[in-house]
A and B are shown apart, each in its own frame.
Chain A
């Protein structure tokens, strides 16, 4: 039974993590929404273990017609969204895409998505490198989002 759980955990880490060279993506997920809602948000943590800063310039998904890099901001008490041309991940650092902050705005799903479904994302960087990621559709946990203590899986080592 113990092995079974280990296998499940290993599989879970496997499908929510991706790495290519110096870049790693962890905990990729898309917020579940009822089928009537056609704009979703995707989140992940992007690590750069390299010695140079890297820039994420776009995200695409074959599950959606459009995807954009966005940042939610509250300025003077007003919630706004900003379209970003790129997001830079410092050398040896990480950038968290998390509720209430950076997110991938995913528009017009090709088909309805259920909790537990997997959404393929392709991250494209300024040097042309691409990183495929599987994001799981799940419900928001309602805690504190980017202020919350996220579990950090160590993977890719």
Chain B
């Protein structure tokens, strides 16, 4: 019996030590920030507005479909983060991933095929540049088009951070990739607990 107990403790220690070791490069906003009104369309052509953030957790990543390295890497990384988070929170608290496509001209025709390869539940949204810009700025983000090397060959520089949107539609944190999936899942689960606690206190 003692032997089992010791093995159990060793396993628990290893797991907690590993999680403690891995750092999450995240910043929680001291005051959650509200988002401006915007009107985008998702990969299926359905409207995606600020109201779509209400009622569930969302992780927003800015990117563009022709980005060969960082964007697909971060989306795969997010897939791993979501898988780990789903082991730690209730199914309805598993965050949805929103890929905010900041190169509408090239992204719009291909983003459906693009986003599907990462996860069937991931959402991609884009729209008129003014609307994309509204959400980018609302997320305190940045997008810049770099001089064209040729027609349809150009780079789009964009904010790297992932925005965490709470079910009340406000930004509560930013996380910088790359993310260690397990530690990030712990970070998100703890943030959700805190959010629920704060809401409970406010409603009392």
Contact = CB atoms under 8 A, between A and B. Distances in A.
A39 B79 CA distance: 21
Interface stretch (A2-10, A69-77, A121-129): A69-77
A21 B203 CA distance: 71
Contacts, number: 104
Interface in B64-78: 65-70, 72-74, 76-78
Interface residues of B, number: 35
A72 B77 CA distance: 16
Given A79-B160, A81-B69, A103-B68, A142 B181 contact: yes
Nearest to B77: A142
A120 interface: no
Nearest to A79: B160
A152 interface: no
A74 B68 contact: no
B161 interface: yes
Q: Which 10 A-B pairs have the closest CB atoms?
A: A142-B76, A140-B76, A99-B73, A142-B80, A36-B110, A41-B68, A79-B160, A34-B113, A41-B69, A39-B68
B193 interface: no
Could you say which of B67, B80, B178 has the most chain A C-beta atoms within 10 Å of its C-beta? B178
B176 interface: yes
Interface residues of A, number: 34
Contact of A106 (B66, B68, B114, B176): B68
B84 to A, nearest CB: 10
B160 A36 contact: no
Interface in A11-68: 31-41
A105 interface: yes
Interface of A: 31-41, 70, 72, 74, 77-81, 99-100, 103, 105-107, 139-147
The residue in A35, A40, A100, A105 that gathers the most chain B C-beta atoms within 10 A of its C-beta is A100
Contact of B159 (A34, A79, A81, A143): A79
